[in-house]
Chains A and B, each alone.
Chain A
């Protein structure tokens, strides 16, 4: 009984909902829409790590990823009125994060449009999109990654954007092909082909690493 009385604001608002059964994303969104501000904390709690991880793998910059992840939730919050349950909420939030990340990449390119480093790229990198290096301090201690992971990250960062996004969503974030297609607003066939192509490109880039192992 004592335990029953210790309820979070979220559970209290749910009223008759069973605490043992987690609410679906759509139900939580509906609660937020109905005025329960604390319900949004549950959304943040569910998606903050996946979205941060997704953006980090895409941007290869932890601080920027965290910043954009926060921005993603802010945008979700202010756009809840426009959100329809036509798609899964995960698809919706990933799409917002993707758009923000793409905008960020374009901003970086503009900032470095006249950078000399861009002019002296080697031809071997033609297949890759130029991205200015992140000169900021490295991520926190929870980002300590081994040499192998850094190698993979470098190879992913060198992939063109159209290959990088689907392979991260599919292989790192574990989204289904259908979800990836919906997030990126692509056809299913195109999505599969891009993921396959991205893996082959990665295979080529990591050839030495493969051979050693």
Chain B
């Protein structure tokens, strides 16, 4: 057995030796005649670039444009979706059906509204609304019962009222939205919101556009925007704006002939001059 193993080893060594011999017999390949010249030319050109393993230059050449394309595509897609969502707010209702939709949207905005005390500057007309006090809320929260609310702002109309689920809680009281639970002095009316991004044509947000958005057909005369007419059931109409009123500012921002806003415009309180007196009217 041992002899067989030795024979195998010897045979293997013989084979290895034959292979080695075969390789040694291979013809030696010579360098071309201009080898030295070409080496010297390369040396004259300067130090070779270090070999960077993965070769980052080609990677960057591919990755950077790809990244740019992805960023631009992402921006465009995101912007498109954003525009589609925002159009619901920005589109001016022209027909009754659209007007109703607009009001519904306005209510939705109101339900998502939040308090920004900084926006409520200056004197205001006292909001004709009823609020729910903390005690009632706490009781509702514990009992699971709906919060009793009343007042002119409780619901725009009975038909539009959203059903409150039985056994509603504090959250349901919030979600039904039209009921104000804010303390007096802080308006719960929907703010004006216009976005440049929402407009495909990227029209600037002019004073006229803002006023038209809330239902006022305005004309700039004698240095002021005068309401020529107020569309029925529009936010301006609901808020009590009348034809002949001069709207001079929104949230302290004076409206001039060429006033334009960039990006997103939000506002709430209109400064109105009516019959020699100045009123501050919240848009509802």
Binding site for B on A (CB under 8 A): 41, 44-45, 48-53, 56-57, 62, 65-66, 69-71, 73-75, 77-78, 99-100, 103, 107, 110, 139-140, 142-143, 145, 149, 152-153, 156, 167-168, 170-172, 174, 196, 199-200, 202-203, 206, 210
Nearest-neighbour CB distance to chain B for A198, whole angstroms, equals 9
Let me know if A69 and B35 touch, CB within 8 A: yes
Provide 17 A-B residue pairs closer than 8 Å at the C-beta atoms, listed in order of the A residue.
A44-B35, A48-B35, A51-B31, A56-B29, A66-B35, A73-B39, A74-B43, A103-B51, A107-B55, A142-B30, A145-B27, A152-B26, A171-B23, A200-B15, A200-B16, A206-B19, A210-B18
> Once bound together, how far apart are the Cα atoms of A110 and B54, in whole Å?
9
* Residues on the A chain within 8 Å of B26, using CB: 57, 145, 149, 152-153, 172
Contact residues of B between 42 and 86, Cβ < 8 Å to A: 42-43, 47-48, 51, 53-55
Let me know if A71 and B42 touch, CB within 8 A: yes
**Secondary structure dominating the interface of A:** helix
* Residues on the A chain within 8 Å of B39, using CB: 44, 70, 73-74, 77
> Once bound together, how far apart are the Cα atoms of A51 and B36, in whole Å?
13
Binding site for A on B (CB under 8 A): 12, 15-16, 18-20, 22-24, 26-32, 35-36, 38-39, 42-43, 47-48, 51, 53-55
> Once bound together, how far apart are the Cα atoms of A137 and B51, in whole Å?
26
> Once bound together, how far apart are the Cα atoms of A152 and B76, in whole Å?
60
* Residues on the B chain within 8 Å of A48, using CB: 31, 35-36
Closest to A78 in B: B47
Let me know if A171 and B36 touch, CB within 8 A: no
Enumerate the 10 nearest inter-chain pairs by beta-carbon distance, A residue then B residue, closest first. Answer: A171-B23, A199-B16, A52-B31, A48-B31, A199-B19, A53-B29, A73-B39, A171-B20, A74-B42, A56-B29
Let me know if A152 and B48 touch, CB within 8 A: no
> Once bound together, how far apart are the Cα atoms of A168 and B15, in whole Å?
17
* Residues on the B chain within 8 Å of A140, using CB: 32
Partner of B43, one of A69, A77, A200: A77
Partner of B48, one of A57, A78, A156, A210: A78
> Once bound together, how far apart are the Cα atoms of A49 and B42, in whole Å?
18
Nearest-neighbour CB distance to chain A for B18, whole angstroms, equals 8
* Residues on the B chain within 8 Å of A200, using CB: 12, 15-16
* Residues on the A chain within 8 Å of B16, using CB: 196, 199-200, 203
Nearest-neighbour CB distance to chain B for A197, whole angstroms, equals 10
